[in-house]
C-alpha cells in the first residue's frame, strides 16, 4: 500500500505527517478524531472498528509528533473500477496545514494500486474549504443530492480519474432509477434506457411493475421470476421504441439451476410465447454473442442498451442481473446499476451510477450460468416518417 514519505526527525506542528495504514490499536484515537470533527453523520465506534478490518476498505491515518491527527477512509467496490471516499477528517486545531491533502494523495495512490480508476465523494455544499481542496486536487462536480445529511443540508457529488486515463465523457445523460423490489432489475434498467431517449418517461414504481408483468419469466431458480430479453424488447416496442435483441442461444433461457420439471416447462412456454411476439412485431433478433463492438455500434447509432450480467463479481451470488449501459471509453464500460443495497452504510446511489467495468472484465461479467448466456436489448426512438 502506498503511503506518504516518513519524516521522523522533525518534531513540530509544521512537519509533514506520517501516513500509514490504520491498526486495531488506533481505534480509540480514531474515535477521538471523529468526535472532534463531526457533530452530525458521525461514524460510530462500532463502524470504525468494522472498517479497520473490512476487506475492501482502505483506512489510512496521519500522525504528527506521534499523535494521530487525522484519517481517511476509501471503499473499493467489488467487481468494478470504482471507489468512494467514505470519510476524511483532520483534528480542527490542525486543519489548514496540508494534512488532508497529504492523506488524500496517499489514499488516491493506494486506491489506484487496487485497480480502481475513479474515486468519488460527497461534500456539503456549504463546506467551501473542503470543496476548494477537492477542486485543487482535480475533483469535478457531476451531480448533487438534496437533503443528504442529518442536518438536511445538500451535498455535491464529485469525482476524479485517479489513473490519469481520459476523463469520463457522456454523450447522452441517462437518469438513474433504483429498483423497488429484488426481482425488477430488468424493468428498472428499461426505465433508465427509455428515460435517456424520452425524458418524459415516468420513472415510477407503477411503471416499473407494469413492465415486469409484461416481461416476467414467471419463475427463476427461487422466488419471483426476472425478466426475459424478449419480454423487455416487446415492452419497449409497445411504448413506441424501436427494439433489437441479441442472444447467443436458441434454447429457452434461465433454466440453469431450476430443478422442478414443471417450472422448466413453464419457462419454456413463456420463452416460446415471447419469441412469437418478437416475430409478430418484426423486432430484429440476432443469435450471437454480445460483444463490446456491438454495444459500441448501438451507442454510436443513438441506441440505449440493456445488458444482462452475472452478479458473481459483485456479490458472489451468480444471479442474472440487468443493467443499463451509459457509455464506453478506451478503458471501461459504464453502467447504471438499478440495485442499491437497502440500509447499507457502504453503498449509496452514487456508487450505482456510471459504474466503470474494465473492458478486460466485460467478457466474464456479461456471461451468466453454466451455458454462458449472453444477451442484450437495444432500444431507440423510432425514425420519424
Kindly indicate the confidence band of residue 346, based on its pLDDT and cuts at 50, 70 and 90.
low
> What number is the average pLDDT over the span 246-275?
92
- Return the C-alpha torsion angle 47, 49, 50, 55, nearest 10: 130
Helical axes 128-136 vs 99-113, angle rounded to 10°: 50
CATH dotted code for 185-380: 3.90.70.10
Kindly indicate the confidence band of residue 368, based on its pLDDT and cuts at 50, 70 and 90.
confident
* Domain 18-161 of CATH type 3.40.630.30: yes
Kindly indicate the confidence band of residue 78, based on its pLDDT and cuts at 50, 70 and 90.
confident
What are the tens digits of pLDDT across the range 196-205?
999 999 999 9
- The whole-number pLDDT of residue 102 equals 95
> What number is the average pLDDT over the span 296-311?
94
Measured CA to CA, the distance from residue 162 to residue 120 in angstroms comes to 10
- The whole-number pLDDT of residue 256 equals 79
What are the tens digits of pLDDT across the range 2-42?
332 222 333 455 678 999 999 999 999 999 999 999 988 89
Task: Give the β-pairing of 284-287 and 242-247.
Answer: parallel
* CATH 3.40.630.30 boundaries in the chain: 18-161
What are the tens digits of pLDDT across the range 309-319?
987 666 656 78
* CATH 3.90.70.10 boundaries in the chain: 185-380
Record the pTM: 0.70
Average pLDDT, the chain: 88
Of 5-9, 41-45, 288-292, give the lowest mean pLDDT range: 5-9
Measured CA to CA, the distance from residue 312 to residue 79 in angstroms comes to 8
- The whole-number pLDDT of residue 377 equals 98
- The whole-number pLDDT of residue 249 equals 96
- Return the C-alpha torsion angle 296, 162, 167, 80, nearest 10: 30
- The whole-number pLDDT of residue 374 equals 95
pLDDT above 70: percentage of residues in the chain:
89
- The whole-number pLDDT of residue 280 equals 98
What are the tens digits of pLDDT across the range 112-122?
999 888 899 98
Q: Is the pLDDT of residue 259 over 90?
A: no
Q: For the purposes of burial, counting CB atoms within 10 Å of the CB of 128, is it exposed (0-12), middle (13-18) or buried (19 or more)? A: exposed
Q: Is the pLDDT of residue 168 over 90?
A: no
What are the tens digits of pLDDT across the range 213-229?
999 999 876 667 889 99
> What number is the average pLDDT over the span 127-134?
92
pLDDT above 90: percentage of residues in the chain:
62
Of 2-16, 147-161, 285-299, give the lowest mean pLDDT range: 2-16
Of 132-136, 168-172, 242-246, give the lowest mean pLDDT range: 168-172
Q: Which of 336, 295, 298 is nearest to 174 (CA)?
A: 336
- The whole-number pLDDT of residue 25 equals 96
- The whole-number pLDDT of residue 324 equals 97
Q: Are 304 and 232 in contact (CB under 8 A)?
A: no
Better-predicted residue by pLDDT, 1 or 154 = 154
- The whole-number pLDDT of residue 223 equals 66
Helix (H), strand (E), coil (C) string for the chain: CCCCCCCCCCCCCCCCCEEEECCHHHHHHHHHHHHHHCCCCCCCHHHHHHHHHCCCEEEEEEEECCEEEEEEEEEECCCCCEEEEEEEEECHHHCCCCHHHHHHHHHHHHHHHCCCCEEEEEEECCCHHHHHHHHHCCCEEEEEECCCCCCCCCEEEEEEECCCCCCCCCCCCCCCCCCCCCCCHHHHHHHHHHHHHCCCCCCCHHHHHHHHHHHECCECCCCECCECHHHHHHHHHHCCCEEEEEECCCCCCCCCCCCCHHHHHHHHHHHHHHHHHHHHCCCEEEECCCCHHHHHHHHHCCCEEEEEEECHHHHCCCCEEEEEEEEECCCEEEEECCCCCCCCCCCCHHHHCCEEEEHHHHHHHCCECCCCECEEEEEECCCCC
Measured CA to CA, the distance from residue 68 to residue 25 in angstroms comes to 11
Q: Are 362 and 292 in contact (CB under 8 A)?
A: yes
Amino acid at each position: 500500500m502506498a503511503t506518504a514519505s516518513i519524516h521522523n526527525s522533525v518534531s513540530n506542528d509544521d512537519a509533514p505527517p506520517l501516513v500509514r495504514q490504520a491498526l486495531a490499536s488506533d481505534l480509540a484515537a480514531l474515535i477521538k478524531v471523529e468526535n472532534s470533527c463531526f457533530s452530525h453523520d458521525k461514524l460510530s465506534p462500532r463502524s470504525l472498528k468494522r472498517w479497520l478490518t473490512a476487506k475492501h476498505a482502505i483506512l489510512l491515518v496521519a500522525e504528527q509528533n506521534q499523535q494521530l491527527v487525522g484519517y481517511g477512509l476509501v471503499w473499493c467496490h467489488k467487481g468494478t473500477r470504482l471507489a468512494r471516499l467514505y470519510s476524511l477528517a483532520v483534528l480542527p486545531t490542525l486543519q489548514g496545514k496540508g494534512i488532508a491533502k497529504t492523506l488524500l494523495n496517499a489514499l488516491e495512490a493506494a486506491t489506484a494500486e487496487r485497480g480502481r480508476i475513479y474515486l468519488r465523494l460527497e461534500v456539503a455544499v456549504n463546506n467551501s474549504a473542503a470543496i476548494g481542496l477537492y477542486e485543487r486536487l482535480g475533483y469535478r462536480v457531476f451531480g448533487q443530492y438534496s437533503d443528504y445529511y442529518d442536518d438536511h443540508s445538500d451535498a455535491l457529488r464529485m469525482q476524479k480519474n485517479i489513473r490519469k486515463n481520459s476523463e469520463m465523457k457522456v454523450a447522452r445523460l441517462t437518469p438513474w432509477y433504483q429498483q423497488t423490489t429484488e426481482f425488477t432489475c430488468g424493468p428498472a434498467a428499461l426505465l433508465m434506457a427509455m428515460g435517456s431517449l424520452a425524458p418524459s418517461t415516468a420513472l415510477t414504481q407503477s411503471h416499473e411493475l407494469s413492465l415486469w408483468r409484461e416481461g416476467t419469466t414467471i419463475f427463476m431458480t427461487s422466488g419471483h421470476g426476472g425478466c426475459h430479453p424478449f419480454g423487455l424488447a416487446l415492452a419497449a416496442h409497445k411504448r413506441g421504441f424501436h427494439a433489437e435483441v441479441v442472444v447467443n442461444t436458441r434454447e429457452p433461457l434461465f433454466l440453469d439451476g431450476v430443478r422442478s420439471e414443471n417450472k422448466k416447462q413453464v419457462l419454456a412456454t413463456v420463452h416460446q410465447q415471447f419469441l412469437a411476439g418478437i416475430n409478430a412485431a418484426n423486432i430484429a433478433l440476432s443469435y450471437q454473442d454480445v460483444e463490446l463492438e456491438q454495444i459500441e455500434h448501438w451507442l454510436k447509432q443513438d441506441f440505449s442498451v440493456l445488458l444482462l450480467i452475472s452478479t458473481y463479481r459483485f456479490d458472489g451470488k451468480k444471479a442474472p442481473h440487468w443493467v443499463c449501459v451509459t457509455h464506453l471509453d478506451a478503458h471501461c464500460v459504464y453502467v447504471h446499476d438499478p440495485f442499491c443495497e437497502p440500509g447499507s452504510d457502504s453503498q449509496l446511489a452514487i456508487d450505482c451510477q456510471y459504474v466503470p467495468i474494465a473492458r478486460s472484465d466485460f467478457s466474464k461479467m456479461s456471461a451468466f450460468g453454466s451455458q454462458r448466456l449472453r444477451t442484450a436489448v437495444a432500444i431507440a426512438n423510432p425514425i420519424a416518417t
